[in-house]
Amino acid sequence: MTHILTSPDGTPASRFAFGTMQFGGRADAAQSAEIFAACRTAGITHFDTAWVYTQGHSEEILGRLIKGERDQLIIASKVGYTGGAGAQNMQAQFDTSRARLQLDCIDILYLHRFDAQTDLRETLGWFAARKEAGDIRYIGLSNFAAWQVMKAQMLGAELGFSTDILQPMYSLVKRQAEVEILPMCTDQNIAIAPYSPLGGGLLTGKYTTGGTGRLSEDARYNSRYGQAWMHETASELSALADSLGVSPATLAVAWAAAHPAAPMPITSGRSAEQIAPSLAALDFQMDAALYDQIEALSPRPAPATDRLEEQELGA
């Protein structure tokens, strides 16, 4: 698997990443600084942002916060969520991202989502050129299906490179990645940095006690996590966490990190207090029995071949 390292000292990336989607939005500059400090105290070295986040404020705030220790950090951003994956659009967004972050080189650059309207050769050729020029160090893909990643791998082989890291959605209530994406990454030596290990906040347990947040305020998140079984899973996880004397958020993040494919979950939040239970997962010991107990709280997705009887038999 690709080992994501800091530059120039080659320190491995932290086991978790931190997503700064809230910086400049739900977290103002002062709150963002407190969050960043808490992450660094916990040992986080990998920070994730995107051109599209909070109208650019996320990148601007992160750029100011990393001054003075840039060489000890992995900074990731994304382009192409809007405007397509053509070379001209990606270059314009990339240049803007570098200016906001005050960086010549962005360690990891992701294509934010697959663009069926643009020839993938053009997209990958642009990424290859940026890596060759030293503008980026690792090539990433986000929100890609397994077949789309393998198409990129095939075309990348013609261009002399392969995908370094993938960013899929993955949590106890969003387990589709287990079917093909995580095994594919293991087979193809692609590092994995999954986002939303807390299921948009559902797995923190706050909604089981009448709390509010993105799931109650954002129609997109409500639709994504609105199924009744997901809320039942969240309630059962909270009950298990109570019995163990830990936060359900700690269990949720630790469980996502414990998958055999060794993913690096991207945690997030809008205050230092809110992210503390997620950061606590860095030191939480998840043994096999507890992993299996948590796994049983949600439905296992069907195998790609739909041979359900073989899954049940462990084949």
CA gap 176, 153 in Å, rounded: 21
CA gap 45, 157 in Å, rounded: 30
Examine residue 248 and say whether the peptide bond preceding it is cis (omega within 30 degrees of 0).
no
With CA atoms as reference, report the closest residue to 141 among 171, 184, 88, 102: 184
Active site residue 53: yes
Residue 108 phi, psi dihedral angles, 5° rounding: -120, 130
- Token code pair at residue 86: 């053509």
- Residues facing residue 15 across a β-bridge: none
Q: Rg for the chain (alpha carbons), in Å? A: 19
Residue 292 phi, psi dihedral angles, 5° rounding: -65, -35
- Token code pair at residue 92: 């314009």
CA gap 63, 230 in Å, rounded: 36
- Residues facing residue 139 across a β-bridge: 109
- Token code pair at residue 306: 């739909």
DSSP letters along 2-16, please? PPPB-TTT-PBPPSS
Could you list the beta-strand ranges (E) of the chain: 17-19, 46-48, 74-79, 106-111, 136-142, 165-167, 191-192, 266-267
CA gap 62, 24 in Å, rounded: 10
* Sign for the pseudo-dihedral over CA of 100, 37, 67, 142: negative
* Catalytic (active-site) positions: 53
